[in-house]
Amino acid sequence: DTAVSQTPKYLVTQMGNDKSIKCEQNLGHDTMYWYKQDSKKFLKIMFSYNNKELIINETVPNRFSPKSPDKAHLNLHINSLELGDSAVYFCASSQVRADTQYFGPGTRLTVL
Amino acid sequence: AQSVTQLGSHVSVSEGALVLLRCNYSSSVPPYLFWYVQYPNQGLQLLLKYTSAATLVKGINGFEAEFKKSETSFHLTKPSAHMSDAAEYFCAVSDFRGNEKLTFGTGTRLTIIP
């Protein structure tokens, strides 16, 4: 069973479109995260949720909106996509706020 | 603010040789330190972590790292490189004062020469 899963794995879209990436974890963890990895492999946290409550919100354009319907899911919705949004987006989860984070396989977003 | 510096964006070693990947951290409080590995087109996998217990930490696949507070370092080593070790390696720091944000280094690409 996949611990942290993301859909879709690849997403190709046009500028200006709105898209969503879904993340699910079956580890029973309380905390979930979204990270962005750019073309130079640099990883930066975007958001973190603990029991459906937003606890980390880095300097991210408000076109990005996370949603956590329950503690096993954390989705990322992106409005008005821009070329600079092209990246690999990783979801992660951890049992408690001071523990190892487990990463999903990533979603490669390409904005044309 | 916490930060991580990984020296050397690319490291090449011969198969069977020592692997040494360097990581220096900056943190105003005792840090938690991690090494993650990323194989091509895959997510990140934890290799090992330091959480203020033993300073020499052993991880998976024969890797280990030593926390040296005086040098603010957490270098990753493996005595004998294997072809399957070729990947991108990331060092990360967190202070876990109720803020579990991981701050990553810029990564080191390890190439193994046959």
B22 in contact with chain A, both atoms CB, cutoff 8 A = no
Residues of B in contact with A88 (CB under 8 A): none
Question: What's B31's DSSP letter?
Answer: P
The predicted pLDDT at position B82 comes to: 96
B46 in contact with chain A, both atoms CB, cutoff 8 A = yes
HSE-up of B95 (CA within 13 Å, CB side)? 12
Residues A10-43 have pLDDT tens digits of: 999 999 999 999 999 999 998 899 999 999 889 9
The predicted pLDDT at position B22 comes to: 97
| Closest approach of A22 to chain B, Cα-based (Å) | 15
* Count of CB pairs separated by less than 8 Å, A with B: 52
Alpha helices in B12-108 (DSSP H): none
The predicted pLDDT at position A55 comes to: 81
Instruction: Choose the closest CB to A97 out of B45, B100, B103.
Output: B100
CB contact under 8 A, A98 and B46: no
CB contact under 8 A, B46 and A48: no
The predicted pLDDT at position A95 comes to: 84
Rg (Cα) of chain B, in Å, rounded? 14
| Average pLDDT per block of 10 residues along chain B, 114 residues long | 90 97 88 92 90 89 95 96 96 72 91 96
pLDDT class of A66 with cuts at 50, 70, 90: very high
Residue with the larger pLDDT of the pair B89 and A99: B89
- Let me know: does A40 contact B9? Beta carbons within 8 Å: no
